Chain A
Amino acid sequence: MIKGAIAIFKRDFKKFLGNPFVIIFTLLMPIMYLVIFGNAMGGTISHVSIAIVQEEPYDDSALPFTAFIDNLKHQAAVDYPPTFDIAIYTDELKAKRALQNGVVSGVLVLPSPNFRDRAMRLYVDSSDSVTPSIIISGVNTALVQSGTHTRVEINKIYGDIKYIQFFGVGVIVMAIFMTTMMGGGIALIKDREMGIIEGYFVTPVKRSSIIMGTIASGTVRAFLSGFVIFVVDLLITGILIQSTQDFFMVLLVLFITSIGITSFMVSMASRFSNQQEYASMSAFFNLILFMTSGAFYPVIGMPDWLRWITIINPEYYAVHALRSIILRGQGIEVIGMDLIALCIFSFAAIMLGIATYRRTLE
């Protein structure tokens, strides 16, 4: 019995050592967890932008509450840059539009000097799970420390949004990624591993046809699973989709996201001939892309170097677009940029896949 067990052990261990790629990626995984998860989730948030605007009727004289604003400007955690970036707006409507478009995270409307007894109005983006509480506590601290006595009215512009609702949107994107991991490129690798590929390499089928066909089938599967999770997410988190237009918009985003992520995985798969290597590589990308997508935690909390990743991360655009539609009820004017980014990404991934696919056995 021992002899057999040792033989099995030796065989498995030889195979393990014979595959350095898998070893590296298995070790890289927890390290990336540490770095990305640790940074993305626990990062000290700074540079939260707040628009400050004075209520109408507008008074040309300098803004009141100077001490208060100064205090707000200089709040910071130890060794960190200022927590808030203050932008002075002169038009309340413009400031609110900036909040809706995500340019600023909060709008603070100061009462007009003529009506000193009015309350200060604070508008926060409640579709963001983190910044509202930071802004609220920052404003309160500033009031106390500057000795300003005034009431503050807090308005959550998208109503109360629970974390599960915030996170649920990210899970839809995760569903798409998971499906592409299991399906998507693995068909290509399986064919290569089993030698089936030799059977159709001798036919006139073009390299681009092979890649496009694989992407198409992967996209449909990813889209279906994304759709299922979208419905499940609505049921579990109790979000209501406002209109049929929003519903179809969600489907559009899901579809383009599916194309983008599937093409990316397929183009990665086009270079692999081993399922294990592919699996560890795709798990690695899954982690990076999902962590930096802002699904768990707003991107604003990430260190700068991680934020750079979000710029080329299709999941970031997908999460942003879905959140805009599902949580904020926003339309094409907000998610247009996301869709364009996703399309550019998909196109690049497809081209990469076609260019790198080996149409010979070597």
Chain B
Amino acid sequence: MSDAQEKILHSYIPHTLSITRSHVFFNTPMSFSDPRPEEETEALRHPDSSRYFSSDQSVIRIEHLTKTFRDKQRTVKAVDDITFEVKRGEIFGLLGPNGAGKSTLIRILTTLLSPSSGTAFVGEYEITRDPEKIRGIIGVCPQNSTLDNELTAYDNLEFYGKLEDVDDRILPDRIWELLAMVGLTDRAHMMVQTFSGGMKRKLEIVRAFIHRPLILFLDEPTIGLDPESRREVWQQIETLNAENTTIILTTHYMDEAEKLCGRIAFVDRGRLISLDTMDNLRLLLPAGDLIEIGFDHMDERVLPAIREQHLVISAEVKDQKLLITAKNRNTILPAIFAVFERYSVTMNAISIRSPSLEDVFIYLTGKNLSDSGGSEGTQGGRGRS
């Protein structure tokens, strides 16, 4: 984890009351007892098509999509038999670590890459048969900046508006409207290369919907942005969604997905691991809050004493830490403190959190979302060959 990533994680993971923060905790697969029967979680781990093909309101339908990249040394399955649907009007989150295949999937759906096998429908059009029709109804904000730095903000929007075939009579007004939306009106005629990262990002996002697309693809829209800009971008996305635009968003920021997305698909190593609403995903985890207490020396009487508390669901010791899940942290904490005090065990750290998407992800994949490689180190497919 780079410094920058860590900083971002520190500042953006909500629901976290962190007294000290340990990397070990984040990287350790959680071992809470699972209250749900094994078969049910298995279904979520290996979703089949019937489970997600329910409504006729779908605006994107992906069927057994696979994309394989080949070069001399190896073959990488960047997208591996993915099947799901996106409903009209929702904000759909595509989550996964770097190299999970999110961008490749987006590139296939936006007709930039052709699939190795499988098919997908965007709107009513099939991606390989009617790519031109699809291009007319989508707006895309790719992960890497595609603004022309040698043009002004206005020129960038105008260029894009013309390519998107926006009516010339309304184009100037539309451009000013978009510039005002991102507060760049006074910089309209300045070169984009003089803009800050946040300004560029916002300009690029509004550029993607200059033609009021039916579906908007945002690939890592807030990567590298400061907190303020992130909030502004989020607000913009919500405003757009309120105008009935379906939004597909990829991210590896948990807070972003939690805040914006109705349904979330977890992707890892090219495979769809799980797809559900935030609330349902949370149900995957043991109920209650997670309390983690670090200690130097443990008395063996502490654990039974804590398990006796009626609000405690589970408790166990691991790596010099006591991991507790409990129903009501506000009332359970004093009781736990009392137990520690009774047996004269010193705490050296404590953290309390509600289960977040990150926990779901760790639970599902056994690894941290910010890990880029994975142990085999064969994550590839950042799409361009």
- Residues of A with C-beta under 8 A to B142: 195, 198-199, 202
- Residues of A with C-beta under 8 A to B146: 195-200
Q: Is A360 an interface residue (CB 8 A)?
A: yes
Within 8 A of A (CB), among B105-139: 107, 110-114, 132, 135-136, 138
Q: How far is the CB of A200 from chain B (nearest CB, A)?
A: 5
Q: Is B385 an interface residue (CB 8 A)?
A: yes
Q: Is B383 an interface residue (CB 8 A)?
A: yes
- Residues of A with C-beta under 8 A to B164: 203-204
* Docked pose: A147 CA to B112 CA in angstroms: 80
Max count, chain B CB within 10 A of own CB: residue among A196, A201, A202, A204: A202
- Residues of B with C-beta under 8 A to A196: 146-148
- Residues of B with C-beta under 8 A to A199: 140, 142, 146-147, 160, 204
Whether A362 pairs with B113 at a CB distance below 8 angstroms is yes
Whether B140 pairs with A204 at a CB distance below 8 angstroms is no
Q: Is A361 an interface residue (CB 8 A)?
A: yes
Q: How far is the CB of B346 from chain A (nearest CB, A)?
A: 49
Chain B 74-91 interface 0/1 with A at a Cβ cutoff of 8 Å (1 = within): 000000000000000000
- Kindly report which residue of chain A lies nearest to residue B385, judged by CB atoms: A362
Q: Is A6 an interface residue (CB 8 A)?
A: no
Within 8 A of A (CB), among B365-385: 383-385
Number of interface residues of B (CB under 8 A): 26
* Docked pose: A197 CA to B144 CA in angstroms: 11
Max count, chain A CB within 10 A of own CB: residue among B111, B113, B147, B163: B163
Whether B112 pairs with A361 at a CB distance below 8 angstroms is yes
- Kindly report which residue of chain A lies nearest to residue B138, judged by CB atoms: A202
User: Number of residue pairs across A and B with beta carbons under 8 Å?
Assistant: 55
Max count, chain A CB within 10 A of own CB: residue among B135, B138, B383: B135
Chain A 345-362 interface 0/1 with B at a Cβ cutoff of 8 Å (1 = within): 000000000000000111
- Residues of A with C-beta under 8 A to B384: 361
* Docked pose: A232 CA to B37 CA in angstroms: 87
Q: How far is the CB of A182 from chain B (nearest CB, A)?
A: 15
Q: Is B165 an interface residue (CB 8 A)?
A: yes
* Docked pose: A205 CA to B160 CA in angstroms: 10
- Kindly report which residue of chain B lies nearest to residue A196, judged by CB atoms: B146
Whether B144 pairs with A360 at a CB distance below 8 angstroms is no
* Docked pose: A170 CA to B156 CA in angstroms: 39
Give the size category of A's interface with B: 10 to 19
Max count, chain B CB within 10 A of own CB: residue among A196, A198, A360, A362: A198
Max count, chain A CB within 10 A of own CB: residue among B107, B113, B114: B107
- Residues of B with C-beta under 8 A to A204: 132, 135-136, 163-165
- Known contacts A195-B146, A198-B146, A199-B147, A360 near B112 by CB under 8 Å: yes
- Residues of A with C-beta under 8 A to B165: 204
Q: How far is the CB of A183 from chain B (nearest CB, A)?
A: 14
- Kindly report which residue of chain A lies nearest to residue B139, judged by CB atoms: A202
Please pick, from A200, A202, A205, the residue contacting B111 in the complex, using a CB distance under 8 A.
Answer: A202
Whether A203 pairs with B112 at a CB distance below 8 angstroms is no
Whether B160 pairs with A202 at a CB distance below 8 angstroms is no
* Docked pose: A60 CA to B132 CA in angstroms: 76
- Residues of B with C-beta under 8 A to A206: 132
Please pick, from B114, B136, B145, B163, the residue contacting A360 in the complex, using a CB distance under 8 A.
Answer: B114
Whether A203 pairs with B160 at a CB distance below 8 angstroms is yes
- Residues of A with C-beta under 8 A to B138: 202
Chain A 188-218 interface 0/1 with B at a Cβ cutoff of 8 Å (1 = within): 0000000111111111111000000000000
- Listed by A's residue number, 29 A-B pairs whose Cβ atoms lie within 8 Å are A195-B144, A195-B145, A196-B148, A197-B146, A198-B112, A198-B146, A199-B140, A199-B147, A199-B160, A199-B204, A200-B160, A201-B111, A201-B112, A202-B110, A202-B111, A202-B112, A202-B138, A202-B140, A202-B142, A203-B135, A204-B132, A204-B136, A204-B165, A205-B163, A360-B113, A360-B114, A361-B107, A361-B112, A362-B385
Given A196-B148, A203-B163, 17 more A-B residue pairs with CB atoms under 8 Å apart are: A195-B146, A196-B147, A199-B140, A199-B160, A200-B146, A202-B112, A202-B138, A202-B142, A203-B160, A204-B132, A204-B135, A204-B163, A204-B164, A205-B163, A361-B112, A361-B383, A362-B385
A-B pairs, 3 with minimum CB distance: A199-B146, A203-B163, A202-B140
